[in-house]
Amino acid sequence: MTAIQRMQENRARRAVYRQTVRELNALTTRDLDDLGISRSMITRLAHEAAWGSAR
């Protein structure tokens, strides 16, 4: 993979991360509870959405 392709892929992944954080933070605490998500989990879930689950 070329450096430019890696940069484009990383840029896209960061956009997915930011969008996921933004959308989850927009939910009410009650909505998050209904989904089984606590606010402290948002960044981890966004990271998993962008880069896959942790090993």
CA–CA distance, 10 with 35 (Å, rounded to integer) = 28
For 39, residues 6+ apart whose C-beta sits below 8 A from its C-beta are: 25, 29, 32
User: Domain tally for the chain?
Assistant: 1
pLDDT score recorded for residue 1: 76
Q: What is the pLDDT of residue 54?
A: 65
- 1: its two tokens: 């993979």
Range of the domain at 24: 3-51
pLDDT single digits (tens) 11-46: 999 999 999 999 999 999 999 999 999 999 999 999
Rounded Cα distance between 18 and 42, Å, is: 11
Reading the block at residue 54, the tokens are: 């942790």
